[in-house]
Structure 1
């Protein structure tokens, strides 16, 4: 089982209303992008990470000196105008390295808080491929991290008046990473885009191709940084995650009694 990763980072983050792309904003002295890449680099199963950059990117050159391609697995290529095009460019750039039956993780550049444990559970889909032990409902269709919708959802008209309360029982919020067979995702993106299908994520391309990806529940702290206030929330989440890891480590070594998460 060989797994590759693609990180689309060609967006400008217009909703943040800041002078630089949001993936280069800083949390505790580190860029959002560097934190995200560190999470993916922690996965020993991933061979290489293809970082897809805007052709106008002037920021990566100032940050890439901290990355060792052999240690951090980071390669780069140029993206397109839309997310799907950037992901496809990343897959095309990996085509000389990845085999058609390999797997690819696609992860948002601005999800720096994703938990390694959640990603490992997603990778179980690939580990079970061909053995009958995979958790995917359709075997090799792959899957994505997701959250069951807990809020009440309202459908609005053009003037923002409520016209309907939407049944949320079977609704999930899609997150990343998303994991799919390499060549099948590549073919699905090409075919869907040629047909003029609106693609909001990789799973939507696979769905259009007739696949049924598996939803893998993840923690709610796997947030996507979209607005300015999300930076502060991400900082708090990362601090809490670090403290939880430290508590677990001291408990496992027996140097300190574990007193529980609520104390």
Structure 2
């Protein structure tokens, strides 16, 4: 584990999520500074895009970057903004509004968006045209989701509010038949407080905010092990893709509520 960028004052320098644009830039949602930061592979800050309360950020099939806004507690407004990462001076515009309480974000191959809500039931599905698929949302009736990741025709979600720390699988075509992959906290007094998750080398990698861990989970069997510990309130994890000479087969990047950005090498 190496530090890609140092943090500032923990919680006051909260970096919430991250995504690679496939063009050599790492985009990081800086929650407390209301901006999305673009970093070069050498750690240089390339760009800064104003977004109020940015949270989950993902690259869409169209190459645009999509980021949830209004993630700060007690914020009434919320939704998705987007910007062109190839622009000389990227500027974010509102794509979807009127969805308060959002956090994590995922996008499927067809361009549908999925938004988690920590204090509500139902993962919100937004169609490519920006309209909500209310029936899908109603059927995906999981309470308190945080991290989201699409793998093939399945959506995986970490649940932050349940003391058992479950990871849930939701079929994209049949969301009512969601199932629990695993429960990472058999002891309710030792809940993990799960945050973001990603797909890496055939497994899920889930961040435990409370314990400072990355936990590797087999999505088929539910078996798990601690991949990395010693983190400081990790909030987001993504596999390095098209980012200089960083190897996507072995390297992941992590952001923390401490403000740090880390590179983790597995294997």
Return the TM-score normalized by structure 1: 0.29
| TM-score, normalisation: structure 2 | 0.29
Taking CA–CA contacts closer than 8 Å with sequence separation of 6 or more, which of the two structures ends up with the larger relative contact order? 1
More strand by share: 2
